[in-house]
């Protein structure tokens, strides 16, 4: 599959970024290779980016946590003169398929959220050191940092010019972060987001678009001083050595299937389904965190998370026709609990914290994946603790009840642990059980009372942990009917329905980014004002503005 988009990379293959480590400070330098686009037909001029640039950034953010836990401050800056970043490449957006544009926006959103949350999750504070033009997606890179510094000169500014120039929206949470995070007044935000040239200098600070403006002559030294100041004030523990993230053990089939060491992805393109099987640990958990750390990237919980994340990204971009994902697990739930318990009981250890935070991020990828999702709780499954979270990420779950003829696997059970009640919050800042039982605190409390019990089908159903329990007579037919029915519905309507139903409760900046903003962007990307032959994306750079249908809808 020569055209397969691969989300795995490593520092030896970076073309667009470099990192310089200096004790507790890392300098993250964006220096995009103009000829290094993911596809032919465009050049990545002015530090503009495509999916390939963001795949590298995602890898850097991940390695910063695991391979360089000594880092307390990350300074994001440009390696080019007079430009910080021009944002997403317009030629790429103009020529890409609709599905690629939307998936691109989703992945960049997830990457921005990952380094935005790095301060709270990992004690790594990101500073954006902006010199030169910082426009569109470039400013969105800065917005996701924890602190923005802007040099005060004639050429440096911040801008979100997508609406006037391209007839689209800042697609990586720009509008939402301006109002919700930066607390910019809405009328000023209206001016800012409809102005091509952006805002510079003192006004940028007065309007809260940046945190500080520094004279150009003192900018570099002030950035260094600020990074050292933040590092000295950090309460992050000093860690001298991380663990290396080696290559994934995986092989791809011509049919889209992928075999990892712990995850199996079976693709049935004719049925439009993908089945993801997660395998439990084969051995006991290490006796302590020293033993866990000694296993490095082969530690079961870390390895499983890396493989699941890669499978999710592969299926999203390379198997868009598979509208239904089926989650399965197989293994010993007691061993799953033991491995999880080691990390939960050592949550102050840097590596335990990182692995648990990694699972939180990966489970969030499941939540916002625009596919129909179902989990099968079969005999021999190991839905315990963090793996049980999958049961409440999906749209429906089916569980085997009692023994099945000819099936000698252990009876199907679900085991709740302490981790299910606060460790893995969704984007709405609630646990998945709080979201599942929104407005019914008694149901959450009853579930909590069952922590540690291996719940068979009837008890799991009584607690509301699964959608339906089925015996040997009904299992095969009910699952088949569900899958056939799901595959027959309009994918557009299903995606809209699922996205609405998965998140209940309060809105947060994160839910608005993935809900409100990306839904509107999805719609706008279909409109001729943006992507039509006379639309702004097609005419950008030609000297002719887009021709718009001026009817409001």
Q: What is the pLDDT of residues 75-122, one digit of tens each?
A: 999 999 999 999 999 999 999 999 999 999 999 999 999 999 999 999
What is d(CA 551, CA 534) in angstroms, rounded to the nearest whole number? 16
Q: Which candidate, 60, 58, 57, 81, places its Cα nearest to that of 71?
A: 60
Q: Is the pLDDT of residue 61 over 80?
A: yes
* Residue 107 pLDDT: 95
Q: Do the beta carbons of residue 415 and residue 453 sit within 8 Å?
A: yes
Radius of gyration of the CA atoms of the chain, in A? 24
Q: What is the pLDDT of residues 193-209, one digit of tens each?
A: 999 999 999 999 999 99
| Two tokens, residue 367 | 């939540």
What is d(CA 350, CA 344) in angstroms, rounded to the nearest whole number? 12
Q: Which candidate, 423, 393, 429, 434, places its Cα nearest to that of 511?
A: 429
The residues that bridge with 19 in the sheet, in sequence order, are 28
Query: Of 522 and 343, which is predicted with more confidence?
Result: 343
Q: Which candidate, 512, 511, 547, places its Cα nearest to that of 531?
A: 547
Q: Is the pLDDT of residue 516 over 50?
A: yes
Domains 11-233 and 251-497 share a fold: yes
Please provide the DSSP assignment of 493-522 as one string: HHHHHHHHHH--S---HHHHIIIIIHHHHH
Nearby residues of 37 by Cβ (< 8 Å), 6 or more positions away:
43, 44, 50, 52, 89, 92
Q: Do the beta carbons of residue 192 and residue 198 sit within 8 Å?
A: yes
| Two tokens, residue 225 | 């001083």
Nearby residues of 177 by Cβ (< 8 Å), 6 or more positions away:
140, 143, 144, 509, 513
Q: Is the pLDDT of residue 319 over 90?
A: yes
The residues that bridge with 444 in the sheet, in sequence order, are none
* Residue 519 pLDDT: 84
Tokens 């607690």, residue? Answer: 463
What is d(CA 144, CA 128) in angstroms, rounded to the nearest whole number? 9
Greatest alpha-carbon span in the chain: 79
What is d(CA 347, CA 353) in angstroms, rounded to the nearest whole number? 5
Q: Which candidate, 361, 368, 365, 363, places its Cα nearest to that of 503?
A: 368
Q: What is the pTM of this model?
A: 0.96
What is d(CA 415, CA 412) in angstroms, rounded to the nearest whole number? 10
Dihedral over Cα of 471, 474, 480, 485: its sign: negative
* Residue 484 pLDDT: 94
Least confident of 381-385, 514-518, 533-537: 514-518
* Residue 1 pLDDT: 37
Q: Is 139 helix (H, G, I), strand (E, B) or coil?
A: helix
Q: Do the beta carbons of residue 279 and residue 335 sit within 8 Å?
A: no
Could you say which architecture CATH assigns to the domain 11-233?
Answer: Alpha-Beta Complex (3.90)
Q: Is 269 helix (H, G, I), strand (E, B) or coil?
A: coil
Q: Report CA-CA distances (Å) from 176 to 65, 112, 262, 287.
A: 26, 13, 38, 45
Side-chain half-sphere of 24: how many Cα atoms within 13 Å? 22
Dihedral over Cα of 75, 81, 83, 86: its sign: negative
Average pLDDT over the chain, rounded to an integer: 96
Q: Report CA-CA distances (Å) from 376 to 198, 287, 413, 508, 547.
A: 51, 32, 11, 30, 50
* Residue 541 pLDDT: 87
What are the residue boundaries of the structural domains of the chain, listed by start? 11-233, 251-497
Q: Do the beta carbons of residue 17 and residue 29 sit within 8 Å?
A: yes
Residue 357 pLDDT class (50, 70, 90 cuts): very high
Task: Please tell me the class of the 251-497 domain.
Answer: alpha beta
Side-chain half-sphere of 361: how many Cα atoms within 13 Å? 30
Q: Is the pLDDT of residue 2 over 70?
A: no
Residue 515 pLDDT class (50, 70, 90 cuts): confident
Nearby residues of 210 by Cβ (< 8 Å), 6 or more positions away:
130, 142, 148, 149, 150, 158, 204
Q: What is the pLDDT of residues 185-243, one digit of tens each?
A: 999 999 999 999 999 999 999 999 999 999 999 999 999 999 999 999 999 999 989 99
What is d(CA 63, CA 79) in angstroms, rounded to the nearest whole number? 21
* Residue 277 pLDDT: 98
Q: Do the beta carbons of residue 466 and residue 414 sit within 8 Å?
A: yes
Mean local confidence (pLDDT), 400-422? 97
């Amino acid at each position: 599959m020569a055209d397969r988009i691969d989300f795995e990379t490593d520092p030896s293959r970076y073309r667009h970024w470099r990192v310089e480590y200096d004790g507790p400070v890392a300098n993250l330098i964006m220096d995009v290779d103009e000829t290094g686009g993911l596809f032919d037909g465009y050049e990545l001029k002015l530090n503009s980016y495509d999916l390939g640039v963001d795949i590298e950034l995602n890898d850097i953010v991940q390695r910063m946590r695991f391979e360089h836990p000594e880092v307390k401050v990350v300074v994001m800056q440009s390696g080019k003169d007079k430009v910080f970043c021009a944002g997403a490449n317009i030629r790429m957006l103009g020529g890409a398929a609709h599905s690629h544009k939307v998936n691109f926006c989703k992945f960049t959103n997830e990457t921005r959220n990952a380094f935005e949350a790095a301060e709270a999750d990992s004690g790594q504070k990101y500073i954006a050191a902006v010199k030169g033009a910082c426009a569109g997606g470039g400013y969105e890179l800065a917005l996701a940092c924890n602190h923005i510094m802007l040099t005060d000169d004639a050429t440096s500014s911040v801008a979100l010019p997508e609406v006037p120039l391209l007839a689209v929206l800042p697609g990586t949470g720009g509008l939402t972060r301006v109002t919700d995070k930066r607390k910019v007044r809405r009328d000023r935000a209206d001016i800012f987001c409809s102005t091509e040239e952006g805002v510079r200098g003192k006004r940028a600070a007065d309007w809260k678009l940046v945190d500080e403006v520094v004279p150009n002559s003192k900018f570099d030294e002030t950035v260094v001083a600020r990074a050292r100041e933040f590092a000295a004030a950090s309460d992050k523990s000093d860690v001298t050595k991380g663990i290396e993230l080696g290559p994934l053990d995986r092989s791809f089939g011509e049919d889209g299937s992928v075999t990892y060491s712990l995850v199996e992805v079976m693709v049935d393109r004719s049925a439009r389904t993908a089945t993801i099987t997660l395998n439990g640990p084969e051995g006991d958990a290490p006796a302590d965190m020293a033993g866990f750390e000694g296993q490095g990237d082969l530690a079961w919980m870390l390895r499983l998370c890396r493989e699941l994340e890669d499978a999710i990204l592969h299926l999203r971009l390379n198997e868009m026709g598979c509208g239904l994902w089926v989650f399965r697990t197989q293994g010993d739930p007691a061993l799953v609990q033991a491995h999880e318990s080691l990390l939960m009981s050592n949550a102050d250890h840097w590596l335990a914290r990182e692995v648990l935070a990694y699972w939180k991020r990966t489970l969030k990828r499941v939540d916002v994946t625009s596919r129909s999702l179902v989990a099968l709780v079969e005999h021999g499954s190991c839905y315990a603790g963090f793996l049980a979270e999958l049961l409440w990420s999906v749209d429906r779950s089916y569980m085997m009840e009692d023994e099945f003829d000819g099936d000698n696997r252990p009876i199907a059970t679900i085991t709740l642990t302490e981790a299910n009640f606060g460790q893995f919050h969704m984007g709405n800042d609630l646990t998945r059980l709080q979201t599942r039982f929104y407005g019914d605190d008694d149901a959450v409390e009853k579930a909590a009372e069952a922590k540690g019990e291996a719940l068979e089908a009837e008890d799991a159903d009584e607690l509301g942990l699964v959608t339906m329990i089925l015996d040997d007579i009904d299992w095969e037919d009910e699952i088949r009917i569900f899958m056939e029915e799901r595959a027959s519905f309009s994918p557009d309507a299903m995606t809209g329905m699922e996205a609405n139903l998965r998140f209940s409760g309060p809105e947060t900046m994160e839910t608005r980014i993935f809900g409100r903003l990306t839904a509107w962007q999805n719609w706008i990307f279909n409109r001729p004002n943006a992507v039509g032959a006379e639309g702004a994306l097609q005419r950008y750079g030609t000297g002719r503005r887009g021709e718009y249908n001026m009817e409001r809808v």
